[in-house]
Structure 1
């Protein structure tokens, strides 16, 4: 039977929606932010937002932000990612395990390349709590932790745990991103760009690996999937 456009749309609407909302829209957002940073040095509200954080710092919030910096950094997140992937593999779903590894590792590598390309200085002059090395755009913490959180959402989307995982995973990524602004080591546009690039990367990896491993679009928990 000859396939028509309406039939194709009806059959593959989930993949098309993920392509549009998960890849194309975040890429356009990242391109817009990157263009402004490259041409103008960023938005005026970057410093306004950082100033607001400086005015609302407390010892307790600073300690929490420092803890998030460590937990979401290169010393801890790779270990958490590997342990999570091994647990998924033990459930018998290697496709989900490899997807999680590719999502986080790829986002981390892309972040390093993007920083070398843009070479935006960090906002140290605005009262940074920490002395961070390297460039600022896009935020590595925001990018890698959003990759981890968003990948987990996609892994568990076909289970009863979809919404708890979504709240915890995305909430964690947002908290880490906000902590980078609170600590004064990244501009808000660094964090937003990191989120956008990460979402586009993870969604793209999901679509590509889903063609090779169809089980990636099914529950890693077997019969406990949500239909």
Structure 2
């Protein structure tokens, strides 16, 4: 699973980065936003606006904090470090790339929520991918592992699609966010797994 997530992350990030320099893909990005904006409905509007709040950094930190408290009761300190390093590292990397690339957001005419910073990559998609990957890794040996994996995938996919629906991001921004989240979280998992193995600790 780790190698699969790493490969998917690299593919997603590569496609999105290449897409920044290809007019045809940029046209696809813009056309997607325009098409979705013309097919919105009140039901999806309400759901995606709520998801925008739930997927932001404050909510992600609260969810991660609650998860770390639960893990601390079982003295799973390596998993706690895994969650903390995954969230903080990916958030820092995402915002550095936003500043460096400085891609404009989709036109305000189509946007449904207030946004901050540049468009590329989607921070919400990064956070969703990190939380999703964290759940996959932490519960990979659980008897209901498949259910946790399905829920994690559902969350990160829906979060990314909601950002496009709200015209907060282009599709390639979301793809980049997923890629960064998958790559960074897998990298942290590999590092901590090696550390835990050397100290004869389970992870």
TM-score by length of 2: 0.90
Show structure 2 runs of 5+ residues with no match: none
Structure 1's consecutive aligned runs of 4 or more residues displaced over 4 angstroms after TM superposition are 38-42
Higher relative contact order, structure no. (Cα contacts within 8 Å, ≥ 6 residues apart): 2
User: What SS does structure 1 have at the residue aligned with 2:111?
Assistant: coil
From 184, 188, 197, the counterpart of 2:171: 188
Distance in 1 separating the partners of 2:130 and 2:29: 23
Out of 54, 65, 69, the residue aligned to residue 86 of structure 1 is 69
| Cα distance per residue 1:179-215 (max 9 Å; x no partner) | 1111111001100111011111111110111011134
CA contact (8 A) 1:96 1:216 kept: no
Q: CA deviation at 1:42?
A: 4.6
Q: Distance in 2 between matches of 1:84 and 1:41?
A: 42
Is 2:127 the partner of 1:141? no
- Mapped contact 2:135–2:152 kept (Cα < 8 A): yes
1:131 aligned residue: 114
- 1:29 partnered with 2:23: no
Q: Is the 8 A contact 1:51 1:126 kept in 2?
A: no
Greater Cα offset, 127-136 or 139-148: 127-136
Structure 1: stretches of 5+ with no match in the other structure:
1-16, 218-227
Map 1:187-206; keep pairs closer than 5 Å. 187-206=170-189
Q: Distance in 2 between matches of 1:75 and 1:196?
A: 21
Flag the 1:36–1:104 CA change in 2: closer, same or farther, 3 A: same
Pairing partner for 1:113 from 84, 87, 96: 96
* Alpha-carbon distance in 1 for matches of 2:140, 2:71: 14
Alignment length (residue pairs): 200
CA distance in 2, matches of 1:197, 1:126: 28
Which is further off, 161-170 or 187-196?
A: 161-170
Cα distance in 2, alignment partners of residues 54 and 70 from structure 1: 20
How far apart are residue 124 of structure 1 and its match? 2.1
Q: Which residue of 2 aligns with 1:18?
A: 2
Asked whether 1:63 is paired with 2:18, we answer no
8 Å contact kept, 2:12–2:178: no
TM-score by length of 1: 0.81
